[in-house]
Amino acid sequence: MRPLIDPITHATMKPFLLSVWAICSLTVTLAHSQPTNAYWRQESASRVHDPSTIVRSGDEFWMFSTGIGIKSSRSTNLEDWQPGQSVMPEMPVWVREVVPDQRGHYWAPHIIRVGERWLLYYSVSSFGKNVSALALASNPTLDPKDPTFKWTDEGIILRSYRTNNFNAIDPAVTLDVDRRLWMAFGSYWSGIKLVELDSKTGKRITPDSPMHSLAWNDHIEAAFIHRRATNYFLFLNWGQCCKGTNSTYEIRVGRSGKITGPYLDRERKDMIGGGGTLVLASEGKFIGPGHAGIVNDGAQEWFSFHYYDGNNRGRPALGVRKLSWDKDGWPVVAHGD
């Protein structure tokens, strides 16, 4: 089936430009308490693009991002970040069976703790095609000093082929209220999809298990599902990334009482039909925010994302902002300075 978009548009440009960004020296902008409702701090850190949601392990926060072997960063305060080692420094054999021209540059990782393991999902693809794979690496700990620390390649979770009407990239994994594990994914084509995973293996429950459609738009990707009480919030991106200050990414959201949807926006428009309430758009130097995540530091919830710094030649940066919820139960992200 032909893709629902011209493959010369975003589906082509994103991976190509991500490779370009990977060569650049990047700046990370992170949260910092100030006497306003916005929290920022400029930091010099390892390269970051398509950040995972930030997770806490012991006394440290960890974040993973697009790059050679998957980049990692660690922090004790959500402000000062240090680069960690890459997750997959050696390319698994199966990678070039999926994408022959791959050089170990993996995209948009997502991490979650399930049982006794950390499960890190990531994308393997090539620009201009939906010939892609979602894969998994696991580790019992995130502490490199722990003697049990070791990333294990768990292989492919799900693939897409040029004959499919979806693209297997941008994974986001969530536990529902019953502790069932689900993975949202997708970029362009027919939109955002959802499949159930086995919570013991971290893999798809069966090769032909149901695939649910959650959202669609002409320019859509980077899903993230957050459970809050009995509701599920589907965050995703509209627009184009990876074009510096010309990027048009913006973050939208819908809400559902079931993880499989339907997800409706504030006006109760279904996200399958193009609905999506605006959460965060370009403002000032913060251009093209994307790849939402939520982390709780014990006292406050924070909303993470990347953006393109209009004051630094459009280089990608990480933003972390204070998150609150309005009286109707919708997310509110603090404004930047």
Domain ranges of the chain: 10-47+126-132+143-333
What's the whole-number mean pLDDT along residues 204-218? 96
Which DSSP string do the residues of 227-261 spell out, in sequence order? EETTEEEEEEEES--SSGGG---EEEEEEESSTT-
One-letter amino acid of 20: V
8-state DSSP, 18: H
Q: Cβ of 79: how many Cβ atoms within 10 Å?
A: 16
Find all residues with CB under 8 Å of 336, minimum gap 6, and list them: 38, 40, 283, 284, 285, 286, 319, 321
Residue range 59-85, pLDDT digits in tens: 999 999 999 999 999 999 888 889 999
Percent of the chain that is helix, strand, coil (3-state, to 5): 10, 45, 50
Catalytic-residue membership of 50: yes
Q: Which one of 154, 196, 221, 309 is the catalytic residue?
A: 221
Q: Which positions ≥6 away from 115 have C-beta within 8 Å?
A: 199, 200
Reduce the DSSP state of residue 272 to 3 states and report it. helix
Is the per-residue pLDDT at 88 higher than 70? Answer: yes
pLDDT of 299 reads: 87
Q: Tokens 């294990």 correspond to what residue?
A: 152
pLDDT of residue 37: 34
Catalytic site includes residue 143: no
The predicted structure's pLDDT at residue 335: 86
Kindly report the backbone phi and psi dihedral angles of residue 222, in degrees, each rounded to the nearest multiple of 5, phi listed first.
60, 55
Calculate mean pLDDT across residues 30-44. Answer: 35
Helix (H, G, I), strand (E, B) or coil at 335: coil
pLDDT exceeds 80 at position 93: yes
**Structure pTM?**
0.87
Percent of the chain past pLDDT 70, that is, above it, reads 86
Q: What is the CATH number of domain 10-47+126-132+143-333?
A: 2.115.10.20
- Per residue in 135-172, pLDDT (tens digit) is 999 999 999 999 999 999 999 999 999 999 999 999 99
Residue 21 predicted with pLDDT over 70 = no
Active-site residue, from 50, 265, 270, 309: 50
Q: What's the pLDDT score for residue 47?
A: 57
Residue 337: pLDDT over 90: no
Sign, Cα dihedral of 179, 303, 158, 95: negative
- If one compares 337 and 203, the residue with the highest pLDDT of the two is 203
Residue 129's pLDDT is 83
* pLDDT over threshold 70, residue 266: yes
Q: What pLDDT score does 43 carry?
A: 38
- In 3-state terms, what secondary structure has residue 93? helix
Output the CA–CA distances (angstroms, integers) from residue 235 to 49, 105, 135, 219, 262, in the order listed. Answer: 17, 25, 22, 14, 13
Phi (first) and psi of residue 20, to 5 degrees: -65, -45
Looking at residue 34, what is its pLDDT?
Answer: 32
User: What average pLDDT does the chain have?
Assistant: 87
Residue 275 has pLDDT above 50, yes or no: yes
Residue 128's pLDDT band, with cuts at 50, 70 and 90, is: confident
